[in-house]
Amino acid sequence: MSERRGLCLVLAAPSGAGKTTLSRALLAEEPGLTLSVSVTTRPPRAGEVDGQHYHFVDAPGFATMAASGALLEHATIFGRASYGTPKAPVLDALAAGRDVLFDIDWQGFRQLRAALPGDVVGIFISPPSRAALADRLAARGDRPEDVARRMDHAAAEAAHAGEFAFQVRNEDFGAALADIRAILRASRLVTARQAAIDLA
């Protein structure tokens, strides 16, 4: 029996819901899971390494990738920097039975699911409540006007939660992480992703 086909695990959430922390913990506890490295036109920040945090390209290079179909999904954020998911590494990982974690928004999830139907498992991470989200954003030092803007954006993000097969409420971090790991384990066992069993 050959190795099973890998899957794309998408975690999407409003800013402040804890997605980044959950992603890091999930990667640390699931050795069979790797993070998809996006390509971007924004300049590297201090400490970022090309090929590890992002693949940094210029705008013409990004446009060429998008036009040639080399990206599974892509978007321009706030009219400035563009971000996208290179197709080849993801397809290679899936064919080799490796699972890939994506940190993208609902729009990227929608594009990815359209490009790879049957391979994408989507989880929407939600905060316990609107008040709890506002408290988290304020606690990390965001200015009041930034908190208000992010809260409006969170409401818009939450409106698309129904597009995801799973929703995890991040009220207790340990429980939320356990829920995500359970979804990942179950998704790996989907019959369509398994190799055929020959008992003849």
The pLDDT of residue 2 is above 50: no
The pLDDT of residue 149 is above 90: no
CB-based contact 126:34 (threshold 8 Å): no
Q: Which of 46, 26, 14, 56 is nearest to 158 (CA)?
A: 14
Q: What are phi and psi of 73, to 5 degrees?
A: -155, 155
Structure tokens at 54: 């992002």
* Angle separating helix axes 173-188 and 19-29, nearest 10 degrees: 60
CA angle, 68 then 13 then 52, to 5°: 50
**Radius of gyration in angstroms for the set of CA atoms belonging to the chain, rounded to a whole number:** 18
Query: What pTM, to 2 d.p., does this model score?
Result: 0.88
Q: What is the pLDDT of residues 79-122, one digit of tens each?
A: 789 999 999 999 999 999 999 999 889 999 999 999 999 999 99
